[in-house]
């Protein structure tokens, strides 16, 4: 599959321009940059003067986000167009190489923040629909994780942060297909973290609870179980710099999911979670 990268924007750093940008500026690649959490995280990086490359499908939306990030202090806010969930192994490898070059040959932080919620009831009977959810949430995301892990291993530095979900901690009738894809991603990132620990790079899976975003527009919201994109973004940003392999967002979900995971089946199966 052919994936089109946008031409180099005027704010991007070329070899000739590189001396005009602080060499201490962090380079950040964001896959799924138009998601609410990704945009909120990008704003935190922008305030630090980072050089950002935003990847997604919708050029107009990405351009608006990039312009806003420049106003907020980003040294560079560039875009690349890609349907991240519909890729081949070859296209993934090619694009990671191209994007790394556009960021100057080294990527400090990579955030993978795209996905689809899907509709559990439809996916249970429509296998094509189920396959589409799995392709976007796990198969494609796993390829991006492996490709950027190779880059970080070569650099012997940098951090991969992947947005997972507490839904992956235990299969529940309301969203077990979505949860299964996030569970698979969780184990993949854990393995990558183990691999990268030998060379000084890191990988982190951040597991939010429900977030008030367009993705959850059809759900009843409110109450202590819900978070905002800004609150989760702050946790994502901290996780890129320090902490363990698995980070719950917010932290209370670690204890909530601990209880849910260890509920006996006889009790759990009487619930409607």
Q: DSSP of 170-205, one letter per residue?
A: S--TTTHHHHHHHHHHHHHHHHHHHHHTTTT-EEEE
Give the pLDDT score at 213. 75
Angle (CA) 77 82 83, round 5°? 135
Give the pLDDT score at 30. 98
Give the pLDDT score at 221. 67
Give the pLDDT score at 18. 38
Domain 23-268: CATH class, spelled out: alpha beta
Report residue 212's pLDDT band, with 50, 70 and 90 as the boundaries: confident
Active site residue: 45, 114, 178, 248, which one?
Answer: 178
Q: Is 213 helix (H, G, I), strand (E, B) or coil?
A: coil
Measuring CA to CA, which residue among 149, 135, 110, 108 is closest to residue 31? 110
Is the per-residue pLDDT at 8 higher than 90? no
- Sheet with 76-81, side-by-side order of all strands: 76-81, 51-56, 27-31, 109-112, 159-163, 202-208, 246-249
Mean pLDDT for the stretch of residues 60-84: 98
Give the pLDDT score at 217. 64
Whether 178 is catalytic is: yes
- Segments making up each domain of the chain, as ranges: 23-268
Lowest mean pLDDT among 10-14, 33-37, 110-114: 10-14
Mean pLDDT for the stretch of residues 177-199: 98
Report residue 273's pLDDT band, with 50, 70 and 90 as the boundaries: confident
């Amino acid at each position: 599959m052919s994936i089109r990268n946008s031409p180099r924007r005027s704010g991007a750093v070329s070899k000739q321009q590189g001396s005009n940008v602080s060499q201490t500026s962090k380079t950040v690649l964001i896959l799924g940059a138009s998601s609410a959490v990704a945009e909120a995280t990008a704003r935190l990086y922008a305030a630090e003067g980072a050089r950002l490359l935003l990847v997604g499908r919708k050029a107009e939306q990405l351009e608006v986000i990039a312009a806003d990030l420049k106003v907020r202090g980003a040294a560079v806010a560039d875009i690349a167009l890609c349907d991240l969930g519909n890729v081949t192994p070859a296209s993934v490898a090619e694009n990671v190489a191209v994007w790394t070059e556009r960021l100057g040959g080294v990527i400090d932080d990579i955030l993978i923040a795209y996905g689809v919620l899907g509709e559990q009831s439809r996916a249970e009977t429509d296998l094509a629909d189920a396959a589409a959810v799995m392709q976007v949430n796990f198969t494609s995301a796993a390829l991006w994780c492996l490709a950027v892990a190779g880059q970080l291993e070569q650099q012997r530095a940098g951090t991969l942060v992947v947005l997972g979900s507490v839904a992956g901690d235990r299969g529940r009738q309301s969203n077990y297909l979505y949860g299964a894809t996030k569970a698979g991603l969780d184990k993949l990132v854990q393995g990558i973290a183990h691999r990268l620990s030998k060379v000084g790079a890191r990988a982190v899976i951040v597991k939010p609870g429900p977030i008030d975003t367009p993705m959850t527009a059809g759900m009843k919201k409110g109450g202590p179980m819900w978070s905002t994109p800004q609150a989760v973004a702050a946790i994502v940003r901290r996780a890129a710099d320090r902490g363990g392999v698995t980070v719950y967002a917010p932290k209370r979900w670690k204890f909530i999911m601990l209880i849910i995971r260890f509920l006996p089946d006889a009790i759990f199966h009487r619930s409607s979670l």
